[in-house]
Amino acid sequence: MNPRVKKIARNILFLLSIPMIIAAFVFAQSSTQKNVCKALHINIENNDLSFVTQKDIIDIVEKEGINPKNSFINAIDLGQLESALNENKWISESNAFIGADHSLNITINQKRPVIRIVEKDSSDYSYFLDTYANPIPVSNQYSPRLPVATTMNLTYTKKDLEIKSDLVALSNFIQQDSFWNAAISQINLRDDYQLELIPEIGNQVIILGNVDDLEDKLKRMFSFYKQGLHTVNWDLYDEFDLRFKGQIVCRNKRGDILSENPYDDKSKKLMATNLANAEKKVVTTPSIKQVVKSASVPIVKKPLVAKATAKQVEKSDPKKVTKEKKIEISKPKKIENNSTKKPQ
């Protein structure tokens, strides 16, 4: 073949290959762009809580080596990312997926606390309990307003787990009732596992015992607040006990005796003391026989003279009545005559 023809043919083939090379480059570039993550979308469903923020989620994603705008989609391990998110102390559930727009989407649920527990032995250590009585650590960046319960060290024994469940139930009831949510300042778990309520009203302690018949117990106490407030001196009592069905037992633990109980030794002594004091105040008058025996001079009894009425006198002696009347009338007349004679 003529060398000149070969050269022309080679140049034509080169010119034809340029568009093909450009098309292949564009296709490869577009395929690469489709496999790259373009954005990160974070959705916190219960955003009324602030244990976890969007910045916290971004930090976890970056620790997993994921660049939301430059990582290949195929290189993102969604299962590993969810496990890393669930390791957060305040995240209860997470879900990660790639959207149709090649974006990484993350949805999380935060753990919801119900009550705050403060241990008596260590005032610095506290934690929350969620709806299932599982512990949630406190956070430096967020502290929800919840009922506070002081307890001993509660472990994972059957008894302690039951107590935790009772505390959760009690806290839920208090928060759902507007009056008790404002009236109760603290819950106390005694060493004998009896529950006490510390109210904002007064200085008394409300002994609840347990959460059995909780609605009925607090209903009784609410009625007592409304009706007994005007009839009972609250300062005399230290405890209001709701453990007895259909009643409220009021106690004074300071030793004050509020009523005299004949079956109580302390009340008997109080009754004897009050009786002795009352006898000292009584002034006894001697009888007539005692006076006669002790007197050296004989006592002459004077007859008692009963005053007669005007009608009785008139019937017995009408002249005497008229005479007395004349005397009463004549006295002022003599005074008038004397007064008239002086000027003469």
pLDDT value for 338: 44
Q: Where are the domains of the chain?
A: 1-33, 39-110, 113-251
Q: What CATH number matches the domain at 39-110, 3.90.226.10, 3.40.605.10, 3.40.50.1240, 3.10.20.310?
A: 3.10.20.310
By CB atoms closer than 10 A (0-12, 13-18, 19+), residue 154 is buried
DSSP class per residue in 105-127: EEEEEE--EEEEEEESS-TT-EE
The one-letter amino acid code at 158 reads K
What pLDDT is attached to residue 278? 53
Q: Could you read off the pLDDT of 196-219 as tens digits, one per residue?
A: 999 988 888 999 999 999 999 999
Amino acid letter at 307?
K
96 touches 135 (CB < 8 A): no
Sign of the Cα torsion 141, 167, 241, 266 reads negative
**Pairing of β 126-130 and β 135-137:** antiparallel
pLDDT < 50 positions in the chain: 26-33, 281-344
Checking DSSP bridges between strand 148-151 and strand 184-189, what pairing results, if any?
A: parallel
pTM score: 0.62
Q: In a 3-state reduction of DSSP, which class is residue 339?
A: helix
Q: Is the CA virtual torsion 59, 64, 70, 74 positive or negative?
A: negative
- CA atoms of 129 and 165, how far apart (whole Å): 9
Q: Can you point out the beta strands (E) in the chain?
A: 39-44, 91-98, 103-110, 113-119, 126-130, 135-137, 148-151, 184-189, 195-199, 205-209, 239-241, 249-251
Instruction: Look at residue 273 in the predicted model and tell me its pLDDT.
Output: 67
Model pLDDT, residue 269: 66
Three-point CA angle 336, 337, 343, nearest 5° = 100
The residue to which tokens 């010119």 are assigned = 15
According to CATH, what is the number of the domain 113-251? 3.40.50.11690
What the block records as the tokens of 5 is 């023809």
Strands of 135-137's sheet in order across: 135-137, 126-130, 113-119, 148-151, 184-189, 195-199, 205-209, 239-241, 249-251
